[in-house]
Amino acid sequence: MINFKEKKILITGATGGIGHALVKKFLSLEGIVLATGTNTEKLDNLKNNFPKINVLKFDISNHDRIEEFIDNVATQLNGLDIIINNAGITKDNLSLRMKNEEWHKVIDTNLTSTFYICKYGIKKMLKNKYGRVINITSIVGHTGNLGQSNYAASKAAIIAMSKSLAIEYAKKNITVNCVSPGFIQTKMTDNIVESIKAVLTSKIPMSRLGTGEDVSNAVAFLASDTALYITGETLHVNGGMYMA
């Protein structure tokens, strides 16, 4: 049985739908969790719902402070064993209409921030010669998507980056993997017009959107010692919509 007792876990983007499911999953498996996000009210709600959780407000796009942030996380948790990079943004637009700032903001937040969190987080893990990093990517990093050239590029790049990191740190007992969700039921997808949602669902062999728990189950597996011989891989959670 998977258990994370005494494991210190950082979850970014913890206040969204998938983030909430990740927090719930790792706490249920006895992990010591620190959740981060940018919305104070949502972090407070998370703390109210899960009293055992640690919370720390931080904007991961502030690259100059990420090393300090990781130091604070490790101090608050008294170590760092598992990192789940779930935070990310979208700024959708057709390529000809996409502003430079829309491109750079998505790349800087989704890709560059993830790199720095991995860099400084793995530095902490090296001391104990143990670590698990799971980066949340997206199905569109494999398939592309209309109006999401920036987002798709950032997610595809995370996959390639993760493979490189996996090679660099495999001998140190640090694994780096990705989980690539398809269309997941969240507050964001709840706002999709039903006719469009029906079209999306028709493209999924399982004929339903995924849940946050579907994603968190995959992440928990890769973060556990059950998956200790798996690194540099991407686990797809999409109901068969995309089969690598």
How far apart CA 51 and CA 139 sit, in angstroms, is: 33
191 burial (CB, 10 Å; 0-12 / 13-18 / 19+) is: exposed
| Residue of 116, 120, 130, 151 marked active site | 151
- Is residue 229 annotated as a catalytic residue, yes or no? no
Name the strands in the sheet holding 32-37, side by side, starting at the edge strand that comes first in the sequence.
54-57, 32-37, 8-11, 82-85, 131-136, 174-181, 234-237
Instruction: Using alpha carbons only, give the angle 57, 58, 63 rounded to the nearest 5 degrees.
Output: 170
User: Encoding tokens for residue 235?
Assistant: 């686990």
194 burial (CB, 10 Å; 0-12 / 13-18 / 19+) is: exposed
Q: What is the DSSP letter of 184?
A: B
Q: Which residues have a catalytic role annotated?
A: 151
